[in-house]
Amino acid sequence: MARNPVFQFPDRAQISPDFTGPRVAAIHGFMGRVLMQKHLLRWLRESGHRDTTMYGYFHAHTAIADDLCEVAANGRKVVIVGYSQGGFQAMKVARELRRRNTQVALLVTIAAGGLGRAFPGRWGFDLRRVPGNVDRCLNFFSEGDLLGEDKIRQWNLARPVQAGQQIENHCFPKNEQLSHVRLVTCYPESRVHPSVRGVLLDRLRAELEPMYTP
């Protein structure tokens, strides 16, 4: 039986050949395609980051790496944003880029833990060790999010593998009641949690803006 192609192919950006900004790979988790399209993908593109392509956690990490290496060879920055199991796949892509000697300017993982670890054989590596080719990693998780938070706090924390890496872990406290979905809710604006806006979205915007060349 043929699969529905909607769930197979990346949602690719349409940009001009002379675009010089970063390429952003946004990777969604299990059954998260529509959620990311409506929220994070839309927010990234509407915030001016036009070269943002959305992939799924099931897309081959080597194929995603191919797309990113293409622009890195032309001197453009590489950014990977992964949500839920897409955060695990983002780490896997970063590891593949390390194998290819390609630098990652920014790696962002959101709610990558909890029940997302249900298929450990798929990953086969320490999901919290940030590869040495990653300049900066921002890791976000919410207390009480069964789908995206590990039970033992230490298991949620991203760790560097070498000196010079900038790693930040941001935990949203339980009293803010940020569910797995609410963590990435960007629309309508009235539904965006103040902490998500201030800690996650504004920070992501601040990291991306300096990557554009005049």
Q: Is 44 helix (H, G, I), strand (E, B) or coil?
A: helix
- What pLDDT sits at residue 113? 87
Residues with Cβ within 8 Å of residue 205, at least 6 apart in sequence: 47
Distance CA(90)–CA(135), nearest Å, equals 14
Q: Which residues contact 197 (CB under 8 A, 6 or more apart)?
A: none
pLDDT, residue 1, reads 34
Q: Quick one: pLDDT at residue 72?
A: 97
Cis peptide before 120 (omega within 30 of 0): no
DSSP-derived 3-state class of residue 67: helix
What ranges do the domains of the chain cover? 21-211
CATH 3.40.50.1820 fits 21-211, yes or no: yes
pLDDT digit string (tens) for the chain, length 214 residues: 334 444 568 999 989 888 999 999 999 998 899 999 999 999 999 999 999 999 998 899 999 999 999 999 999 999 999 999 999 999 999 999 999 999 999 999 999 987 666 655 566 778 899 999 999 999 999 999 999 999 899 999 999 999 999 999 999 999 999 999 999 999 999 999 999 999 999 999 999 999 997 6
